[in-house]
Every structure is written in structure tokens, then in C-alpha cells.
Amino acid sequence: MECKQFLVSTTKKILEKSPLTYHLVRNLSSLDPRQMASKPDDCLAGFRKVLDALIAVGRLGEHERNSVLEEYTELLQEKKHNLRQFDKHTLGLDEFYLELLKAVVFGTVTQVLASAFPAAFIGEEVYSLLLSFLNSDDCRASEMTLQIFTFVGADIDQRFPNVAQRLLPVVQNFIENGTAKQAKYAVACLNVIVGNKERVFGQIIDHLKQHFTLESAYFRTALVSIGHIAMLCPDMFGTQVKSIVSKVVVKDLIMADREDPRISETTWCEFDALPEETKVKIEGMKMMVRWLVGLRTASASASSTLRLLVTVISHGGDLMEKEHVSAMERSWLRYMAAACMLKICCCPPYADVLSHEQFQKLALVLQDECPEVREQFGQKLHKHLLAMRLPLQFLAIFALGGVEKRRPLRNQLRQWLLSCINKRRDFLKQHTINSMKLITILPDYVIPYAVHLLAHDPCLPKYDDVPGLVQIKECLWFLMEPLITKNEGYSFSFFKRLIENIKQTRDNQCPNDKQAQLKLYAVCDLALGLVMTKTTSFVLKDFPQEPVLPSKWYTLPDKNTGVDLATFGRTRPRGALRKVSRRPRPVAGGNVQMVQVAEIAQVDEEEVVDDVMAVEEEPSPGIEASSAEEGSNSPSSAQVVNLRALRPTRRDRAALSEQQPSSDSNQSKRSRLEPGPGDEAENSSDQLRQRGVLVSSNEQLRLT
């Protein structure tokens, strides 16, 4: 028993501060140099599972997976000789990998090892070796070393005070005078290794304020450092950073064009090729985002920041519209404004602040004139959606990739969309979610957001614009294809019910705009048509719950009118839609006239009924209306005009000439007219009924 307790305590000590999971511990042998030399294929498979475990606990980003795997594969191929010569009795694992860090090509693998197994890098000798890397002229080596110190440097000031005394000045120098990336990692490292953060970071901020000018070579570094300090310590420096954002970043930086007008022949370039002023503006945008992410609940500041970023996108990247910015700079500013909006919306309180118009402007970046902007924005969108940081509505943005002209980019967008959908499906398989949470995760619920987004797409100016409808159909199918054809749990009835529910609502963005409602219904018809035509197996199984719609995007129609036909340019008195019960088909008799009538259904004042509806309209000018019989329950002024009878076909005329008044005459298979409560109508009205021109309102039309 004592031996067991000793082993447990020893294991806990070794795995201290490690993101301990079964897959991580089970596959740590993939980092054993001897196993890597003898079984490279098995180690590669195990290393993939190690990365999965690190991504699950947030130690590694999903977007970093491929680069780490490439580096690990290169290590297996190029360092076979070094791996075979590893001897655990003469060389520690930490020393072996730190030697590899000198070859910066394998620095990421060392970083992963420090993240997965930080206890292996704790010791004064290891810290001294890491400090020597910080003094290297290679920026990549210093960046990797700072990240390793972030993982293994907790409580270093108490456990190894001599090392901490040597480390603090070096890290502070990176924060104040390093590159942007060095400053980023140095702030994270200092946040781990110091205890009195308010005093240390306060002194650093006071020193960084001296660089808030374009004449300073460390303006970008100062913005990066203060942004990360505000994100990590929002309670200590939130108010102080707010003043810097409003007075320096927004007023003196983003809204000012100081250099002379610039012209470029291309629309894109590498970041390092941009002018320094544009680089500083980009870092200023990022700083605002980091400050908001740290606060997490500053909705008012987030709203004003989103308005500023949307204005940058709307003005094509030239905020002040002075034409001082070149084409490639405008492309970068549009992309960074969109990326910053995505980062802000990763916080749920800020995503609720985003308005409909701002979301639509953001989505249109996927159709930007610059292909590099479209690709970079799609990559950022995929990164946040794959990590499930963005709400489901942002998945609808991928629908705009349906009109992408470049085939490689279109295929890449399709792969990104499919991976995001599969990520959510796998999450639902592994976790038990209640019904209210399901609508925020299930990828099928992206349809209402996509329909609303496409209904407001600029390519659809009117509901009957054919070229615009063709583009909308392409966008819909681009999004719906993986939901329908590559979905084991696909439910035809769910999709059909969901789209039909949208058609029974109004656009909450502009509920009184008739054209907006018509465009919304047109997009619904296109989506419903795709569901009907693309579904290969119609399995009419019930979905676990009734489809619901987001109230922010859709609102119920007027309670007393149901479906508002005034949207379609018609006028009628309130309450003219009413629910009626199905009545049995009448037996043919002498007073029953067989005419061709319009198939019209009836609706209740409070409920929309799909199967039977009766619509009562005002008679058209120039057509005499027959008076309703006394005692009728329907309004006497409402009449239904048979439009087909105004221009009867040859078959209609033949049917009318052959009908007999006897009770055993053959019935037509078309809709028939039921007799009203009284058959004592005037002769003129009887003649009009026989001609099929007019139908009294107290007579019911049946839907066959």
C-alpha cells in the first residue's frame, strides 16, 4: 500500500501542470527519441493524438496542427542518426530537445513537448540553457524560448530566485524594444513568472507611452504590448487603456492619414512590404480588440468599435476617403477590419451587439474584389468556427462562396465549410445537449441565418430579378449540399418544416418593407425547391423537436391577419382570413354547376393553416358582384373572381355544354362549388354562375 501511494505521488509530481489526459499519456512515447528512430510510423500516429489532446485543452491552436506535423515529420527523416544515438543515461530528454532548438526548424516540436510535459523542463540547468537562447540573434529562437518559459516558468521567482532575477530584465526588454511577436510572447511570459503584476506592468505601460508617435521605431511594439497587457489584466489597466484607445489609437492613428498619397499597381502584398503607417494602423485595430476581449462585458465600447470597423470595410479600406492609401493597403485594412470583427464576436456578449447590417457588411468580405482578401478572411472564419468560438450564424457566411469564380478557392471554401459542419456533429455525438442549447450548435439550424443573409444580398435588388435569383440558388446549394447529401441524420421533414416556418414570419430587420418580405419569401421558395429536388430518399421521420427560428431575425406577422397579403400589393379588410373546417364533397344535383375555380385556402386569424385556406377579396372593377343571401355567415361584400373563367379554354366550354341537371350526371375531377344556404338567387346571378365568371362569397371553395 505504501508502495502504491509512493508511485501515485511520484507520478503526480512528474506530471505537474501537464494537461493530463488518457490520449496524451498513452502516446507520449511518440516523443521518445528511441521510439522515433525505430518506429517512425507508429510515432507519427501517436503524435497526432498528442496534438489532439493539446488542442482540446487549449495548449495548441487548431490552425497550428499542420505546421507542427510537418516539422515532426521532417525531424523523423533528417535526424534519424541523432535519434538513434540518444542515451537516457548520459543525456536528459530536455537537453536533447533543447539542442534541437538551436536548429530553429524544430523549435515548434520542442514547444509542443514543453506544453505537454512541462515537468521535464524544470530545473536550474535547463533554465540557464533557455536563457542562453534568449540572447540569440535569431528572432525565431527567442520567440520559441519565450513560449517555453510561459509553459514551465510558473512560480520561478519563488523556486529559482536567481534565475528569475536574470530572466525579468530580458523579458522586459522584449516587451519594450522587441519585435511585435517577441513583445506578444514576452507579455504572456511575464504574466506567468511575476507575482506583483500591477506594479511591474504599470511601470512598463508608463515607459511604453513614450513611443506613441510614428517617429518612434517601437510604436508597433508598444501597441502590441499594451494590448496584451490589457487582455491579460483587464481589471488592473482597463480604464487606463480605454483612454489610450480613444485618444491615441482612434483619433491620432486610425482616423489620420499623415504620409503622402501612395499608389500601387497590385492589390496585395506581403505584410512586411506595407508602409509603416499602415502596419501601425493594423496593430492599433488589434489592440482595440484585445482590450475588448479582456473586458468581455463592455458592450457599449464594443458597439462603437464595431461601427468603426464596419465603416472601414464600407469605405473600401480608406476610412477618411482622402485617397492617400494605395490599393494593396486598402486590401489589408479591409481584411484586418473583418478579422477584428470576427475576433470581437468570439465573445458572446459582443456577438449579440452586432446588428443585422453590420453582419451583412462583414459577410460580403467573402466576395471582396481582391482574391487574397477572400482567402485570408475565409481562413480566419474557418479558424474561429472550427474552435467553436463564433456563433452558428457565422457559418452562413460560407454560403456566399457559392459564387466564387476561382475553382481552387471555391474548393477550399467547401472543405472549410464541411470541416466546420463535421466538427459540430462530432461535438453533439460526444456531449449531451439540451434542446435549448441544440439550436445553437446543430449545423442544420444555419438555414434560417443563410436565408436571411441571402435575402439581403446586393445581387438581389428585387424578388423577381432572375439573374440575382440564379446566384442566390448557387449560394444556397453551396451551403445546403453538405447538410443534405453528407448527413447521416438528414431529415427531409425537418428541413421542409423549417423553411415553411420561415415563410410564415416576417423579416425582423425591416418588418414593414414589402420588398424585403417578398425577397425573403423568394429565397425560401428557392431553398424549399432545392430540398424537394435534391433529396434522394424521402424518409418522413419526425425530428426530435419542433423547428424554431431565432427571434432576432424573424418576427411573427400581425396576430389578426396571419399571412399579410398586402405584402403582395393587395388590399383587404382586417380579419378577412379565417379558419374553416373541411366540409364533405357535395353530391351532384340539379342546382350544382361545375366550373373551373381557383384553388384558394383559408386561414385562421391567429394561426396559419397549410392545407385549407379561403381568401376573400374585393371584386375587380367592372365586374358585377352578386348579392349574398340573407343569413349567410360570410361578409356580403367579399367576392371571389374565377380568373380562368374569364378566358375559358376549349375543354371548359365543352364541359359546360355537356353538363346535365340530373343527379346521376358525371362529376368533373376538378374543384366543385358547394351550394350556399339559400338557392333563391336572382336570375342574373344564376346566369353569371353558369358562365363561371362570378362565385358568391358564401360559397366555399375546396382544395383538392
What is the reported pLDDT for 259?
67
Contact 73, 44 (CB under 8 A): yes
Q: Which residue has the cell 449579440?
A: 352
Q: Is residue 549 part of a domain?
A: yes
Structure confidence at residue 117 as a pLDDT band (50, 70, 90): low
Distance separating alpha carbons of residues 540 and 538, to the nearest angstrom: 6
Q: Which helix (H) or strand (E) holds 596?
A: none
In terms of residue numbers, what domain contains 576?
559-628+635-660+668-704
> 537 and 572 share a domain?
no
Q: Is residue 574 part of a domain?
A: yes
Cα(first)–Cα(last) distance of the chain, in Å? 82
Among 513, 535, 556, residue at a domain's last position: 556
> 583 and 624 share a domain?
yes
> 456 and 539 share a domain?
yes
Contact 376, 324 (CB under 8 A): no
**Bridging pattern class, strands 506-507 and 554-555:** antiparallel
Q: Which residue has the cell 373572381?
A: 641
Q: Is residue 205 part of a domain?
A: no
> 533 and 601 share a domain?
no
What is the reported pLDDT for 102?
58
Q: Is residue 188 part of a domain?
A: no
What SS3 state is found at 614? coil
* Helix then strand then coil, % of the chain, to nearest 5: 60, 0, 40
pTM: 0.72
Distance separating alpha carbons of residues 375 and 381, to the nearest angstrom: 10
> 527 and 565 share a domain?
no
Rg for the chain (alpha carbons), in Å?
A: 35
Among 556, 573, 601, residue at a domain's last position: 556
Q: Is residue 523 part of a domain?
A: yes
What is the reported pLDDT for 65?
79
**Bridging pattern class, strands 640-641 and 506-507:** unpaired
Determine the average pLDDT of the residues in 438-451: 94
Q: Is residue 373 part of a domain?
A: no
What is the reported pLDDT for 442?
92
- Rounded to the nearest 5°, which phi and psi values hold at 694? -135, 140
> 505 and 603 share a domain?
no
Mean pLDDT score of the chain: 77
> 531 and 404 share a domain?
yes
Contact 674, 697 (CB under 8 A): no
The least confident of 213-227, 425-439, 561-575, 640-654 is: 561-575
Instruction: Dig out the grid coordinates for 282 from the structure.
Output: 493594423
What SS3 state is found at 461? coil
Residues 179-196: tens digit of each pLDDT: 999 999 999 999 998 888
The least confident of 75-89, 134-148, 578-592 is: 578-592
Give me the residues paired with residue 701 across strands.
673
> 400 and 529 share a domain?
yes
Distance separating alpha carbons of residues 320 and 250, to the nearest angstrom: 12
> 463 and 534 share a domain?
yes
Nearest residue to 451 (alpha-carbon basis) of 505, 375, 406 = 505
Contact 230, 294 (CB under 8 A): yes
Among 510, 530, 556, residue at a domain's last position: 556
- Name residue 450's amino acid: A
What SS3 state is found at 344? helix
Contact 644, 598 (CB under 8 A): yes
Q: Which residue has the cell 392545407?
A: 611
Per DSSP, 700 falls in state P
Q: Which of 442-451, 537-546, 682-691 has the highest mean pLDDT?
A: 442-451
**Bridging pattern class, strands 640-641 and 694-695:** antiparallel
Compare 485 and 636 and report the one with higher pLDDT.
Answer: 485
Distance separating alpha carbons of residues 365 and 391, to the nearest angstrom: 18
> 575 and 508 share a domain?
no
Percentage of the residues of the chain whose pLDDT score is greater than 70: 70
Distance separating alpha carbons of residues 474 and 347, to the nearest angstrom: 32
What is the reported pLDDT for 257?
81
Compare 574 and 352 and report the one with higher pLDDT.
Answer: 352
The total number of residues written for the chain in this structure: 704
> 552 and 563 share a domain?
no
Residues 446-498: tens digit of each pLDDT: 999 999 999 999 999 999 999 999 999 999 999 999 999 877 778 888 899 99
Q: Is residue 651 part of a domain?
A: yes
- Name residue 558's amino acid: D
- As separate numbers, helices (DSSP H) first and strands (DSSP E) second, the chain gives 30, 4
Nearest residue to 329 (alpha-carbon basis) of 407, 268, 372, 287 = 268
Domain total in the chain: 2
Residues 484-532: tens digit of each pLDDT: 987 777 888 889 999 999 999 999 999 999 999 999 999 999 999 999 9
> 521 and 567 share a domain?
no
Q: Is residue 672 part of a domain?
A: yes
Residues 307-341: tens digit of each pLDDT: 999 999 999 998 888 888 999 999 999 999 999 99
Per DSSP, 693 falls in state S
Contact 262, 329 (CB under 8 A): yes
